[in-house]
A and B are shown apart, each in its own frame.
Chain A
């Protein structure tokens, strides 16, 4: 399945049959004090620099989250989206649970971005899906609803089905939806990774739909997180994940390796190219 995401000058296809699409996660002030301060002070240069660096590192799409307590999120979203759209040519991922904020971002970017995200709750579907339709955008669907995050793969698939069917009834085709099955930390439940992998496999078998993951949460509270994150990424890509919101600089090598190993990188071209561009130079 192909999900087309555009900026004013470039398009990116999230493709369940192609290599993984990487979304740069760093423009998100949660846990990033410097960015929170920059957003509060309206220091757009700092934000632009974060976007440019992620694109240099190989990000196909850049996530934009401007949620800082007390900040006018609608205005911040509009300003940041406009500034980043001028500075980089890759499409954007508008990251907010607030439909006002998402709408401001949609107006500002004048393209067909990815909206992050809609949830399986009535209120969320009612607010976000009309924007997807109106702007011909695509949307990440988080598999949780009024009851929280379902504990079994089957129940998560049921939330996906609900969102897909609701979208369909509004005339939004399935390829406009990228499912995020969610992953909790294996630190508090050692089956958490398994449940997510099973969900990806079920969704891939039933719908062949594009799957997104934010993959660093899985290792919270455990030692050597990077090893766990890398192993999980490999497993998730093997199960059918086609899009990752991640620290691109850190995870791109693993992602390119997984793409080559599962036959999505002919002659290893992408893998070798990335290595040449980013390998530490010998003195």
Chain B
């Protein structure tokens, strides 16, 4: 098989949510000495974009998105250990700790964002639901994270977003992590008001925000940003 055939096969396997086939194509790609980042950028990311778009459009359903994420994970589990530091030049790398905020038990949106971030080769540490501000911060230090990602669906838990940021400020450690927020009731105005670093309306927007923050980090940007990165914010009026 040619390089292109292997990458196309892997892309299709991820789109189809076929874990075994995705792992098999990933192994072939590694044997064929295709660079790890070329496999990720040439097959896995575009596959997740296809499935993510189909989900947004109502043409694919949640179980299919999850299966695609599992297939991407199976391929990445083989690919990531072969990545050497040389390969990482120009690509995004980083660690995100993610969770649904205290008082909120909704995890679907958070799981979708996790799957898409992981499919981009970003290390994702999922703290689950009902995560207290203290737990985010402790996990972020324990994992040496770059980004704290907070998901919310219910409005009454929104004040805890601010508490995460205020706790970091009080500890004199606001510069250690970018903080991004998202979910149903979260708006661009809220993001700006609490001094967070980013907001994405849907899961792909969230991935774009995190990617941009990590790229910025590589270029020397530090938290907190003077103004947050806002992707997919709805126009009001």
Interface residues of A (CB under 8 A from B): 29-31, 67-70, 73, 96-98, 101, 142, 144, 146, 148-149, 182, 184-185, 187-188, 190, 220-223
Q: In the A-B complex, list the 9 residue pairs whose CB atoms are closest, starting with the nearest.
A: A221-B62, A187-B62, A67-B155, A67-B156, A148-B129, A69-B158, A69-B155, A222-B61, A97-B156
In contact, B154 and A220 (Cβ under 8 angstroms): no
Residues of B with C-beta under 8 A to A188 = 62-63, 66, 107-108, 111
Is B130 at the interface (CB under 8 A from chain A)? yes
Task: Name the prevailing secondary structure of the A interface residues.
Answer: loop
In contact, B184 and A30 (Cβ under 8 angstroms): yes
The residue of chain B having its C-beta at the shortest distance from the C-beta of A101 within the complex is: B156
Q: Out of B61, B65, B107, B187, name the residue touching A69 (CB < 8 Å).
A: B187
Q: How many residues of B contact A (CB 8 A)?
A: 25
Instruction: A96-B156, A222-B62 are known; give 18 further A-B pairs, CB within 8 A.
Output: A30-B153, A67-B155, A67-B156, A69-B158, A69-B185, A97-B103, A97-B157, A144-B130, A148-B129, A149-B105, A182-B105, A185-B108, A187-B62, A187-B108, A188-B107, A220-B108, A221-B63, A221-B65
Chain A nearest CB: distance from B142 CB in Å? 18
In contact, B155 and A146 (Cβ under 8 angstroms): no
Residues of B with C-beta under 8 A to A182 = 105
Once bound together, how far apart are the Cα atoms of A141 and B119, in whole Å?
38
The residue of chain B having its C-beta at the shortest distance from the C-beta of A187 within the complex is: B62
* Cβ < 8 Å to A, chain B residues 67-109: 103, 105, 107-108
Chain A nearest CB: distance from B68 CB in Å? 13
Residues of B with C-beta under 8 A to A73 = 156
Residues of A with C-beta under 8 A to B155 = 29-30, 67-69
28 residue pairs A–B, Cβ–Cβ below 8 Å: A30-B153, A30-B155, A67-B155, A67-B156, A68-B155, A69-B185, A69-B187, A69-B190, A70-B190, A96-B156, A97-B103, A98-B156, A142-B105, A144-B105, A148-B128, A148-B130, A187-B62, A187-B66, A187-B108, A188-B62, A188-B107, A188-B111, A221-B55, A221-B61, A221-B62, A221-B63, A221-B65, A222-B61
